Amino acid sequence: MQVTAALVAVDALRPTDGIPDTRRRAHDPLSAQLPTHPYELGPAAEDVFTALGVPFSEVLHPVCASRRPLLRFCLDWTEQRHHLAGRLGAALLTALLTRRWLTPGPRPRTLVLTPEGHGRLAAVLHLPPSP
């Protein structure tokens, strides 16, 4: 969720509902895909996602038709924050795993941010340095 919030902060994603962050909106279902979402690509989207290793133009215009929407957001159960899903979220995950900035964690569905990954994400998304 920190990555999605950072994508909003650097204007790669832009809220369309006037709420400047990724917190749960009053109508959001708990721990589920949002049927509609309050985000669009921001003016920095191409530069930011490209810097993160996402083949941005391919994701926007996939060679083979995908039923997955470009942008989709889900609400995390524990933090009550939106996180990026859809074709763009999947492409970002693939890029981070391919570069080994993220690695599989010790439990199913968990990921570990590597030191290199933290450094690169911090540089591109203006995150604080690691503790």
Phi, psi of 33 (to 5 degrees): -65, 145
114: Cβ contacts below 8 Å, ≥ 6 apart: 100, 101, 102, 103
- 64 pLDDT band (50/70/90 cuts)? low
Q: How many CB atoms are closer than 10 A to CB 41?
A: 19
pLDDT tens digit sequence for 16-26: 999 999 998 88
What is the pTM (predicted TM-score) of this model?
0.88
Q: Where are the domains of the chain?
A: 2-99
Q: Cα 51 to the chain's mean position, in Å?
A: 13
Residue 1 has pLDDT above 80, yes or no: no
* Least trusted range by pLDDT, from 7-11, 67-71, 99-103: 67-71
Work out the number of other CB atoms within 10 angstroms of the CB of residue 71: 15
**For residue 106, what are the contacts with CB-CB under 8 A and spacing of at least 6?**
none
